[in-house]
Structure 1
């Protein structure tokens, strides 16, 4: 029971980390384009399936498509995304210059990171609620002693506290990344 509980909570933290990777800091990061898809032969596919994404300089992302014919589609997809980036192309590769973040934009990104963190906390608390409901059901159905039920719920709470603290640590690290000029 506790292994499955921890596994579900770990997945919440992993999902948090991958979602936070899409938030832009001052440095270029290929994960920035993870949520953006490009139209490729009638299907919407992630960038990593149509080309190579590299970071040649700290503030430049470079996409080298496997087929030169989709460069226009790549540019359109980036412009359509809510990342606020302007791609440039030389016919061979697409370059994305990441502009310096303003103080206001940094504060917005910190708020967004905190919102994402709160979603992760809620997810972990929901997992805790499900586990506690299962223990209560087990106590009622199997005549589990009340002190054993309480001990199980305390252990569930300790596991929850551990993962909530991990979420807080991840969010704090991301905030420092965003606010570092």
Structure 2
């Protein structure tokens, strides 16, 4: 497995998953979950404490895309070693006039997940999930669980197979 965590099948650890994630995890192949200290949920602290390489950890950011007074949302998955090109690649891909990180209150209320634990598994129906090529190519990658107290480990190709997922060159 990855790092020093006690990984186990995510489907059997629903207590470690936010409600929308628990509802969607059955359809995600080879997903494992592990409990962590919620104070260490942020990527740098998590990776250092649990011995997870930054290139084996992926971050999910929620983007608000605006066009003609309408706001739509999307999730972007990038390795912890990069960052999503929100103002360039993401904005153009979504056909938006403006794209920015969604406000924390919007991201948490719309997803039903905790800030710092948002994950593409179990997002609202119809949301695009833009997965960077490096994330999709990863053998196994650590992502959020919807809660700050745990993480999910799964193959990058499982992220590429999520509903609404598109693999693109996303990172800067």
TM-score normalized with structure 1 length: 0.23
Structure with the higher strand share, 1 or 2: 2
Larger-Rg structure: 1
Structure with the higher helix share, 1 or 2: 1
TM-score normalized with structure 2 length: 0.24
Which protein, 1 or 2, shows the higher relative CO under an 8 Å CA cutoff with sep ≥ 6? 2
